[in-house]
Amino acid sequence: MSKGSKGRDWNKAQPHHVSTGKITTRTYANNNPNKVEWVKSKPPKKK
Amino acid sequence: MASGEGATSRYRLSTLRPTARLPQSARVFRTYPRCFNRIMARQIASLQDRRMWGRALRSYKGGFGTGRIDDEPERDGRLFGVIPMERPQLKVIWETLGLSTTVPTSAWHQIDEFEEFLFTLDAFKLSRFLFLTFWACRISFYFKRGTETVEVKNVRWFGADTIPDLYLTVDRLLLKFEAPPPMPDFVRL
């Protein structure tokens, strides 16, 4: 696992905010299904 | 450490109740005047605000909310407004605001089952630097079919200095499908 991945396993899907692209918790994703999407790769950084 | 009352009340903003004395090492000293606590306080919308809000709501077909029929205030001083919208309009707004469409539990998949769609606004008046005001507004959606309702709460927050500016943002969203700008950093909700 690389150093900057914060211990995330990218073989599994992670929830992230659609608007900002930030990875969130599973609890937040379950409570707010309209605001998150599940991704399997890191979103591209905004310049 | 002191008992529960004293331990929590040293962070209290008002001085109405005396706080329990804590040991000198545990006490937190304030480095700013007490009046600075009023920088971003919530206020009750005035009669003028309610009338202006109701006048702005009347420009939408079927718009309903505070200031529409009578000038009774809400208990907590906020303003609310409901604007009906069509299904294709909702779908475009949903994608404009960046809500999820791929999650199976998302309300996106229930849009086709419902008939009426409501665009809801809740506006809160905040005081800014003692004299100025700032309006924080949140968007939520309601889907209706008979007695069934689905609510999509807290879709987006946005803000403006005046009520006409708020409705300018709403116009841009409902008619031109432009997303509202993000909330400025000085707003702490």
Contact of A35 with chain B, judged by CB distance below 8 Å, is answered with yes
Q: What is the pLDDT of residues B24-68, one digit of tens each?
A: 555 555 555 655 555 667 788 888 898 899 999 999 999 999 887
What would the DSSP string read from start to end of B104-162? TTSGGGGGGG-SEEEEEEEEEEEEETTTEEEEEEEEEEEEEETTEEEEEEEEEEEEESS
Least confident of B21-30, B76-85, B110-119: B21-30
Tell me the CA end-to-end span of chain A in Å, nearest whole number.
25
| Chain A residues touching residue B152 (CB < 8 angstroms) | 34
Q: Check: CB of residue A38 under 8 Å from CB of residue A15.
A: yes
Contact of B111 with chain A, judged by CB distance below 8 Å, is answered with no
pLDDT of residue B6: 44
Which of B153, B144, B165, B134 is closest to B62 using CA atoms? B144
Question: For chain B, which residues make up each domain, given as ranges?
Answer: 1-31, 42-175
Instruction: State the best of A35, A39, A40, A46 to mutate against chain B, taking most chain B CBs within 10 Å.
Output: A35
| Chain A residues touching residue B105 (CB < 8 angstroms) | 33
Question: Does the model's ipTM exceed the 0.90 cut?
Answer: no
Q: What is the mean pLDDT of residues B170-181?
A: 94
d(CA B161, CA B131): 12
Q: Give the single-character DSSP code of B179.
A: P
CB B106 to CB A19 under 8 A?
Answer: no
Average confidence score pLDDT of chain B: 81
pTM confidence score: 0.75
* Phi/psi-derived region of residue A7, left when phi > 0, alpha when psi is between -120 and 50, beta in every other case: left
| Chain B residues touching residue A19 (CB < 8 angstroms) | 97-98
